[in-house]
Amino acid sequence: VLASAAVIASGYIINNFYDSEKDQINRPEKSKLDELVSQNTKLSIYFILNFAAVVMASYVSFRAVLFFSVYIFGIWFYSHKLKKLPFIGNLTSAVLTVLPFFAILMYYKNFGSEIFVHASFLFLIISMRELSKDLENIKGDLVIGYQTIPVVYGERISKVLLTILVLLTLIPTYLLLQYYEIGHMYLYFYASTLLLFVFLFLLWRSSKKAQYLVLHNILKLILVAGVFSILLLDIDLVLKRIL
């Protein structure tokens, strides 16, 4: 878990490192704060965190070292190359975000169909967040030359894809509510569905950066609430599955 946290933190740093030029256009205020920390310092922290992650993984097993080594390379390759490509960048980002949770669950041999359905919901929300972020940052992507979905196919196609993704979230939501024991977590999924339809309503009325930022924040709220909603599960049931 600590190794995962270190790698995720290093991923944020390297992503910020490669996005520094784009952020000067999309987020000038944030860019000024980032300039307080030099690029060399960011790289140093990035390498230290990755080294620490591999060392921690070595106390678990050789397979853990191999996994984190590949995962670190994957994050770097995404930040350096893949994020500039339509579809591939969005898909890779979603996979890299979900992957550590899969790895931890598989290590504890707690990977069943219910986990897969939960992960499917998470994957769809993250994919939507990435596409919404591309809409929000379209100006900077155009200037820097990133070939994102909104840049290549336009805002309308991006909105159609987001609508499809919202509708697809209804599948794992229905399965979790009808076929699995999720305790009071059903409240989270009902609230998320409501927020997603609010998201859709606003999506087709959005055309400015500030409006896309609101959409992005709705999806971030769903993701953050999802973490805390784990507390709504039956604790005895969770312990039984883990132990």
Q: How far apart are CA 243 and CA 229, in angstroms?
A: 21
**Final residue of a structural domain among 34, 55, 80:** 80
pLDDT at 159: 97
Q: How far is CA 113 from CA 10, 172, 182, in A?
A: 31, 11, 13
C-alpha to C-alpha distance for 102 and 111, rounded to whole angstroms = 8
pLDDT per position as a tens digit, 171-221: 999 999 999 888 888 999 999 999 999 999 999 999 998 999 999 999 999
Its domain, for residue 157, covers: 82-243
Rounded Cα–Cα distance for residues 192 and 142 (Å): 32
Question: Tell me, what amino acid is at 207?
Answer: S
Range from 87-101, 102-116, 183-197 carrying the lowest mean pLDDT: 102-116
Whether 67 and 97 share a structural domain? no
On whether both 29 and 133 belong to a single domain, the answer is no
105 and 74 within one domain: no
- 61 and 6 share a domain? yes
Whether residue 198 sits in one domain with residue 93: yes
pLDDT band at 106, cuts 50/70/90?
low
The arithmetic mean of pLDDT across residues 53-75, rounded, is: 85
Q: How many domains does the chain have?
A: 2
Task: Among 19, 45, 80, identify where a domain stops.
Answer: 80
Share of the chain above pLDDT 70, in %: 84
When pLDDT is cut at 50, 70 and 90, the band that residue 65 belongs to is confident
- Are the CB atoms for 223 and 186 separated by under 8 Å? no
